[in-house]
Structure 1
């Protein structure tokens, strides 16, 4: 077992990992709440009626992705509640980690799609595609590539 120099039991490590994961979920939750709130207000704007079919489809896909991201971000807490006091903390932390990784993927799709939609509406289709692709590349570099580089260096 790889050690990081801490003198802690497996239960203490699981508790610490759970608390760290909860802090990460709080950060993600704020971003998803803001994006979902933004998306849910759009149909009530007068300009929404001017969207073309492509923009409406992108919008509806974003609402679905935002709902999925929200469900994934809340899921670890729900799992914890369902399994509270069942001596399953390590399993809960492992499952919550996997769910949180999926939530990051869903959040990346929402951010990408929101960038695409806003640029498409304001500037045009090509700008929307470029903005969405750029957002996806930035997140892939920051959220996937950089951590992988650090992991390999250690």
Structure 2
């Protein structure tokens, strides 16, 4: 008598009947796709940030702007580390039957990377707008853009999640 494995991760009504290994494989593949997008943007931004210090106008920056620059570069570096970290996990842990744990750890590091990316983007924008505008409007523009990021990254998916919750319960 053959038994089918219980659905893992789905539960009633989800339409998925996966083993824990199949679920981890699917989640890992989805996470890697998400990371490819984020990593590319972070690497380009970080490369541009590194080049700024070698520009002639860098010497003209105020002490405050230099501080913002250093903070931005450090945030960019931390962001790159967090978003590239899951690749290291995969390489070190492949074949050790730890995929579900690897997916969980990599997903957490990815969320941290996105928080750091948010901070990096806001810091870089603050620096650019301070240099470009030379007035007090820059922090307000950065605040508005930070709000836009939060709407796009958190509010929209949270609303979708809230709307779908009653459907999934029934």
TM-score (norm 1): 0.95
> Which has a greater percent of helix?
1
1:144 Cα offset (Å): 1.2
Q: Distance in 2 between matches of 1:98 and 1:133?
A: 26
1:2 Cα offset (Å): 4.0
Q: Is the 8 A contact 2:10 2:18 kept in 1?
A: no
* Aligned position for 1:128: 138
* Aligned position for 1:142: 152
The reply to whether residue 153 of structure 1 matches residue 149 of structure 2 is no
* Aligned position for 1:85: 95
1:74 Cα offset (Å): 1.0
1:71 to 72, 81, 84: 81
1:127 Cα offset (Å): 2.5
* Aligned position for 1:101: 111
1:6 Cα offset (Å): 2.1
Indicate the structure (1 or 2) with the bigger Cα radius of gyration. Answer: 2
Deviations 1:5-42 (A, max 9, x none): 02322211110110010010000011101110111111
2:54 to 44, 53, 62: 44
The reply to whether residue 112 of structure 1 matches residue 118 of structure 2 is no
Structure 1, unpaired ranges of 5+: none
Q: Secondary structure at the match of 1:44?
A: coil
Q: Secondary structure at the match of 2:84?
A: helix
Q: Distance in 2 between matches of 1:46 and 1:124?
A: 18
Q: Secondary structure at the match of 2:136?
A: helix
* Aligned position for 1:32: 42
1:57 to 67, 73, 78: 67
TM-score (norm 2): 0.86
CA root-mean-square deviation: 1.2
